[in-house]
Chains A and B, each alone.
Chain A
Amino acid sequence: NAGVMQNPRHLVRRRGQEARLRCSPMKGHSHVYWYRQLPEEGLKFMVYLQKENIIDESGMPKERFSAEFPKEGPSILRIQQVVRGDSAAYFCASSPRDRAMLDTEAFFGQGTRLTVV
């Protein structure tokens, strides 16, 4: 797990502000997945990205949420005009190739805990 770096670990935002969550995949990994875990719930898939491409965003809310994974730099999950219901833990995972199941070839980061006040 230590190989996937997420920052910040904790983020506090006031309602209406923007939240930017960053995920640096493991070295050599070109596929990134974002998951959200609401309080007392299981993880829910949000989006799957490869470098410069969004492959599957079926789990992303239709408004205010966006994700990118540029050619250089970390993947960014952006939440505009945050509301209290966005308070959750956001996890990123990475894998080296698209056909790799999330097993030994993919790893999760420690997450970013977003609190909206």
Chain B
Amino acid sequence: DAKTTQPPSMDCAEGRAANLPCNHSTISGNEYVYWYRQIHSQGPQYIIHGLKNNETNEMASLIITEDRKSSTLILPHATLRDTAVYYCIVRVRGETSGSRLTFGEGTQLTVNP
């Protein structure tokens, strides 16, 4: 799986958009970009994933650059409950070896009132 690089921490004002960057310059053509988050003391929660097109769901938007070497997770209107560690993961989808994920250090997002 490709290695990812994320800033260790970010701050965001409540109600504003939170833009979390991720670099994955060694990503392969068949690797997807996944985002998870882990709110303190809870299990990880899936947010969104994509291959090369931008994606949007009820939680967030994922913007992937044309060369796929980086991506940005956007929380359009951050709330205090979005304070969490956000993990960017790239891997091949549907490997028969199992769906294990490799979590890096992630970005600690703190949403301030």
Please count the residue pairs between chain A and chain B whose beta carbons lie under 8 angstroms apart in the complex: 79
Known: A42-B106, A108-B44. A56 touches B49 (CB 8 A): no
B96 sits at the interface (CB 8 A): yes
Contact assessment for B32 and A101 in the assembled complex, using a CB-CB cutoff below 8 Å:
yes
Which of B42, B46, B94, B102 interacts with A110 by CB under 8 Å?
A: B42
B-contacting 9-mer, from A13-21, A64-72, A74-82, A90-98: A90-98
Smallest beta-carbon distance A111→chain B, Å:
6
Contact assessment for A103 and B34 in the assembled complex, using a CB-CB cutoff below 8 Å:
yes
User: Which residues of chain B are near A93, meaning CB under 8 Å?
Assistant: 43-44
Contact assessment for A48 and B105 in the assembled complex, using a CB-CB cutoff below 8 Å:
no
User: Which residues of chain B are near A48, meaning CB under 8 Å?
Assistant: 97-100
Please report whether the interface of chain B is mostly helix, strand, loop or mixed according to DSSP: loop
Contact assessment for A102 and B101 in the assembled complex, using a CB-CB cutoff below 8 Å:
yes
Contact assessment for B98 and A56 in the assembled complex, using a CB-CB cutoff below 8 Å:
yes
Beta-carbon nearest neighbor of B97 in chain A:
A56
Known: A42-B106, A108-B44, A110-B42. A103 touches B49 (CB 8 A): yes
Which of A98, A101, A107 interacts with B34 by CB under 8 Å?
A: A101
A21–B67 CA distance with the chains assembled, in angstroms: 43
Which A residues fall within an 8 A CB radius of B?
A: 1, 4, 31, 33, 35, 41-45, 48, 55-56, 59, 89, 91, 93, 95, 98-104, 106-111
